[in-house]
Amino acid sequence: MKTIAIIGRPNVGKSSLFNRLAKSRIAITSHIAGTTRDTNAAQITLHNGQSVRIVDTGGIEDTSDELFTKVAHKAKQAAKAADLILYLVDGKLLPTQEDKKLFFTLQKSAPTLLVINKIDNDSQKELAYNFAEFGTKAMHFISVSHNRGISQLLSALESTLFPEVQEVAQDIEEELLEALESTFENAPNVSDLQTAKPVPESSNAQFTQEAQSLETIQVGIIGRVNVGKSSILNALVGYDRSVVSAQAGTTIDPVDEQITFENSTLRFVDTAGIRRKGKIESLEKYALDRTSKVLEQADIAILVLDSSAPLVELDEKIFSLVQKHALGVIVVWNKWDIAHADFTSIRADFLRRFRFLEYAPFLTLSALRGRHIKELKHKILEVYANYASRIPTSKLNDTIAKAVRTHPIPSDHGKLVKIYYATQYATKPPQIALISNRPKSLHFSYKRFLVNQLRKEFGLSGTPILLAPRPKGQGNPESAF
């Protein structure tokens, strides 16, 4: 698949154009220069039916700032890997030497179209003609905010990337015209049509069946700012996909990448770091909203903790997101090479503060040194298998019956509470209905006891188990446990 990279200096509208072409608000946009740090990618289909990959990049500028130097480097890497470059400029500003220099440099990597944004009307186009000094005929005037010139730009993308398709289309059009002319010339009379025999259907018609795509395991990486989430993503995919910096809050847009491991597709999304509400700065409020949307689509959350420092209250609040979205979970202690305490002490403190996550696997690693990264991949597969598992009904009911015999259900103010039977009605995570005569009388502590018995019997490490007490149906119920 061919790739189109959107390149330019900060705040010229690259992310807005990316969202417009993708027809979705994937990238965070704002008036603040430097909003985009990592690259974003999406697949789109052009008018000619060809699919292409578009890549949004961070702004390129000369700076001594370590973070934005890395952002510019990432953008230039995307340009070198592209089949076509859209160099975006702000049409309301005069051309700069830096723009011209970048444009000429990019032309050496791939065909480059000069796209002049923020041209909201014809009068503004006059000023934009100053960009003719770039010496290119491939100038395209657009206004992303007003959806102006986008169709013409898409046509230019098609003709530049797929010239052979354009030629074939013209040839087909000419052949169709010739065929139509021939058809009309040799058309039968109406009387001939009345006696014509119907053409039998072909006996060897071919049917195509769409191949089923392999299921993708969606993995969200979450945690406080500066705990090493981006470093973990880079270690998992095997290259520097995400910009890493000592500056807290480096990641703004969710950064996603997928790999194949053990015949499974793992799609990782590195999310923005979370701060205390009172310390959320500027763009981070948008990033938090995107993090929530990522978790809505995720199967598993990798909860990243900083081994070099003790747990804080914010960690507990972040972990509550796992419960909210009912995700599979793996707890990862990063920076273990500089851990502030020994394993036994850190684990004991964790279990004391996070009793509701005692079922979660517990891994120590160092993303920078590549320690235990392969073990983390294996653990993802294990947790996902539990997350998507279905317990056989007979074994499920045997386990529940045994639990009830071991520890009878407490009565409701002297009234007997019964569970007639259990059935699993959904997966991801496992969701089990408990058919009862008094479903509202099953106390949460007893449900927790039943969950623990299910874990004892079936394992199910890393996945929540949801129990839903329900009233019995019409007719005679089965014998109660």
Q: Is 273 annotated as a binding residue?
A: yes
373 token code pair? 């990264």
Side-chain-side CA neighbours of residue 293 (13 Å): 13
Q: Is 197 annotated as a binding residue?
A: no
Q: Is 2 annotated as a binding residue?
A: no
For 80, the 3-state DSSP assignment is helix
CB 331 within 8 A of CB 365: no
Give which of 162, 230, 157 is closest to 6, Cα–Cα: 157
For 425, the 3-state DSSP assignment is strand
Q: Is 118 annotated as a binding residue?
A: yes
Q: Is 456 annotated as a binding residue?
A: no
In this structure, the number of other CB atoms found within 10 A of the CB of residue 470 comes to: 13
Q: Is 270 annotated as a binding residue?
A: yes
Instruction: Output the CA torsion 165→169→175→176 (10° steps).
Output: 140
Q: Is 56 annotated as a binding residue?
A: yes
Q: Is 44 annotated as a binding residue?
A: no
Give which of 217, 401, 223 is closest to 318, Cα–Cα: 223
Q: Is 364 annotated as a binding residue?
A: no
Q: Is 220 annotated as a binding residue?
A: no
Q: Is 42 annotated as a binding residue?
A: no
Q: Is 249 annotated as a binding residue?
A: no
Q: Is 57 annotated as a binding residue?
A: yes
Phi–psi pair at 193, nearest 5 degrees: -65, -35
Q: Is 192 annotated as a binding residue?
A: no
Q: Is 19 annotated as a binding residue?
A: no
Q: Is 8 annotated as a binding residue?
A: yes
Q: Is 59 annotated as a binding residue?
A: yes
Q: Is 226 annotated as a binding residue?
A: yes
Report cis status (omega within 30 of 0) of the bond before 429: yes
In DSSP notation, 266-330 reads EEEEEPPPB--GGG--TTHHHHHHHHHHHHHH-SEEEEEEETTS---HHHHHHHHHHHHHT-EEE
Q: Is 120 annotated as a binding residue?
A: yes
Specify burial of residue 261 (Cβ count, 10 A radius: 0-12, 13-18, 19+). Answer: middle
Q: Is 76 annotated as a binding residue?
A: no
CB 75 within 8 A of CB 39: yes
Q: Is 119 annotated as a binding residue?
A: yes
Q: Which residue's entry shows tokens 């965070």?
A: 28
CA–CA dist 51, 39 (Å, integer):
19
Q: Is 229 annotated as a binding residue?
A: yes
Give which of 302, 296, 303 is closest to 266, Cα–Cα: 302
Structure letter (DSSP) for residue 4: E
Q: Is 377 annotated as a binding residue?
A: no
Q: Is 274 annotated as a binding residue?
A: yes
> Which helix (H) or strand (E) segment is 259 a member of?
strand 255-261
67 token code pair? 């973070």
Q: Is 12 annotated as a binding residue?
A: yes
Q: Is 241 annotated as a binding residue?
A: no
CA–CA dist 165, 161 (Å, integer):
9
Q: Is 13 annotated as a binding residue?
A: yes
Q: Is 272 annotated as a binding residue?
A: yes
CA–CA dist 447, 299 (Å, integer):
23
Give the total residue count for the chain: 481
How far apart are the two ends of the chain, measured CA to CA in Å?
A: 59
Positions at the binding site for GTP: 8-15, 56-60, 117-120, 223-230, 270-274, 334-337
Positions at the binding site: 8-15, 56-60, 117-120, 223-230, 270-274, 334-337
